[in-house]
Structure 1
Amino acid sequence: MILFLSELQKEHLSLLHRHSAQVLVDFCKLTLDYLNNGSNHKKNNIAAEKLDISVTCVQDLIHALAYLITEGCKHNLSESNFKSSLGIAGFSPEQQQVLVKLYNSKKSELSTALYQLQNKDPSYQDFLWRFEIQLASRNSQEEIRPMVTLNFIIATPKRVGQSEEDNNSIVSNKNDCMSPICVNSSIHDAKATSQCQNIINHMLLQCDLPNLLHLTNKLEEALKESKSQHVRKVQRSL
């Protein structure tokens, strides 16, 4: 896969084509600082004064570089594909080496942060079970059947940049599937999203032994299917 930038993004990046690789290195540092901590007006003003350009041009350039790096991480581009994308964007071989080095060094970190920003689906955390059986009853004439109580512990990521009260209100409204996810522009907030910041829900399920056996068989079939050649081809294509 190759990334194709818009003409406006290419225009913003064209400023780097007229300067040395060291200027690109400096802008890579500004871009990483922007991704981690948000816009830094003081550093942007210093860069604008050094290059004798407007602060708006500096900001547009940083945004274009950030888009280039994050899109590469989002699509998990190989080094060769990312380098080809840089060539199409107009970067020289020397500048390509600088950006590829940056991409390889930050790819894992940025991919994890982007996943945390985008991930909003519940995920499995733990599982508890209890075997229950009624030993005796004077009122019931039916056959005593053992039951199994299952407790699935599910974690739903909090929406980055919102308070816990906002997140709780979103989880309680299960029918509201159209609520847009709200995130801060800073990846620093995504890095702070850890397991302790998840919303924990308990899904209780009670079933008898025949149904439990049926559920076990279906899960084993799904696990076997997930290892099939067809599913692996789909995973590779995604």
Structure 2
Amino acid sequence: MRELQISEIDFQDSVLVLGFPEEINKILLQLYLDNRKEIRQILTELEPALPHYHNMEWRLDVQLASRSLRHQIKPTVTMKLNLKQNEELSTKVLQTDPATLLHLIQELEEALAEMKTNHCRRIVRNIK
């Protein structure tokens, strides 16, 4: 396990926003410094064990016609997503049209760009 401790300055910045008097901020900092290993251990135990990406397979299907419409083009993207959680593999099958998939990609790229902002970096640093 990697130690992810925030520095004293980051802790003070986080507590400063709460608007406590300077005296209480110093007490909180000392309590944090005295108990940070125990705090980290408790937070690690509370961390949810979420499944994570292991592998993905995809396929593009195109329906060219049906009984009612002869010149219909209906593309579908099918994805088989393999997830791993506690050394166990699970499989999810997802199906969507290309327009929805492109919209999802755009939203994820925007979220990734947002994570690169200074505000988000500071929040993430303080969470770890």
TM-score with structure 1 setting the length = 0.34
Q: What are the Cα deviations for residues 41-81 of structure 1, in whole angstroms up to 9, with x where unaligned? A: xxxxxxxxxxxxxxxxxxxxxxxxxxxxxx628639xxxxx
Partner of 2:50: 121
Partner of 1:150: 79
| SS at structure 2 position matched to 1:121 | coil
Within the alignment, does 1:2 sit opposite 2:37 as a pair? no
Pairwise CA distance, 1:116: 8.8
Relative to structure 1, the CA distance from residue 73 to residue 140 in structure 2 (aligned partners, 3 Å threshold; closer, same or farther) is farther
Within the alignment, does 1:218 sit opposite 2:102 as a pair? no
- 5+ residue gaps in structure 2? 1-31
Relative to structure 1, the CA distance from residue 237 to residue 223 in structure 2 (aligned partners, 3 Å threshold; closer, same or farther) is same
- 5+ residue gaps in structure 1? 5-70, 77-113, 158-197
Relative to structure 1, the CA distance from residue 128 to residue 146 in structure 2 (aligned partners, 3 Å threshold; closer, same or farther) is same
Q: What are the Cα deviations for residues 10-34 of structure 1, in whole angstroms up to 9, with x where unaligned? A: xxxxxxxxxxxxxxxxxxxxxxxxx
Q: Greater share of helix residues, 1 or 2? A: 1
How well do the aligned residues superpose, as a CA RMSD in angstroms? 2.8
**1:1-238 correspondence to structure 2 within 5 Å:** 1-4=32-35, 72=37, 75=40, 119-137=48-66, 139-141=67-69, 143-157=72-86, 198-238=87-127
Q: What are the Cα deviations for residues 190-213 of structure 1, in whole angstroms up to 9, with x where unaligned? A: xxxxxxxx2211121111111111
* Cα distance in 2 between the residues matched to 1:204 and 1:75: 36
Q: How many residue pairs were aligned?
A: 94
Greater CA radius of gyration, 1 or 2?
1
Relative to structure 1, the CA distance from residue 207 to residue 122 in structure 2 (aligned partners, 3 Å threshold; closer, same or farther) is same
Pairwise CA distance, 1:236: 1.4
Which letter maps to 2:105?
Answer: T
Pairwise CA distance, 1:135: 3.9
Relative to structure 1, the CA distance from residue 117 to residue 131 in structure 2 (aligned partners, 3 Å threshold; closer, same or farther) is same
Q: What are the Cα deviations for residues 84-122 of structure 1, in whole angstroms up to 9, with x where unaligned? A: xxxxxxxxxxxxxxxxxxxxxxxxxxxxxx959955211
* Cα distance in 1 between the residues matched to 2:107 and 2:96: 15
Q: Greater share of strand residues, 1 or 2? A: 2
Q: Percent identity?
A: 34
TM-score with structure 2 setting the length = 0.60
Q: What are the Cα deviations for residues 139-186 of structure 1, in whole angstroms up to 9, with x where unaligned? A: 1317221110112211122xxxxxxxxxxxxxxxxxxxxxxxxxxxxx
